[in-house]
Structure 1
């Protein structure tokens, strides 16, 4: 087991590729938990919030970023009682080297879906009505210091 008392597992896949379904199957086992919202991009972007894209390099895994992310993951794993904490933010597919620099003991599950099928599914999802309750639930996971930045955007 890594230096913490849990393992981090990242599901890596494009949007609408089945990451939610895979996460739900994996977390059906005892001791395997996930975040109470679909994506935690706000948490992972902390320390790089002004970076213009979700693609992060290893160099962006500064000491402060590593400390924040490891502390945050440890806190939630303990809160959830997780032996394994599963994370599936789709933007992570653009930053695997960054994640590896932050979490060198993490495990990865890569999921691939036919691009034509994923595109059709994405079109349906992205043209759906705004789900305000979902947005408000995600706000819980925005680091407080980053709220003004996102609020003004």
Structure 2
């Protein structure tokens, strides 16, 4: 099961079922975890197997990259207008929390006299294949995948 297959199966009719969207969110999250962590691992820890364990700053920068991803996603989502009024407040709160997490990690890294990694450029559309900022159900599915990926990354899974 891949993210692309799961997202490709979403159409406007089937995506209107909230229960189905939640169920697909769990499937999408499960499929996204290996992809997300593999992408981060390749970039962040591309050292040989004989290398020493990552330093605290490397671990914090890895976490910061994930917080950049989540903060940028919610900033774009809230600003896009895709979120209906009834859910706007909760996603604005989530956005604010992700920004606070990002800023906190930047502060911690700097307090260690280290340099935070710069924010990468993220393509949340998979090369234009999807429109999470134009389709609310797709936005929620990816939000769930990112949240689950974040939890698993912090737990070391």
TM-score normalised per structure 2: 0.31
- From the two aligned structures, give the one with the greater strand fraction: 1
In our comparison, the structure showing a higher alpha carbon Rg is 2
Q: Which has the higher contact order (CA 8 A, sep 6+)?
A: 1
TM-score norm. by structure 1 comes to 0.31
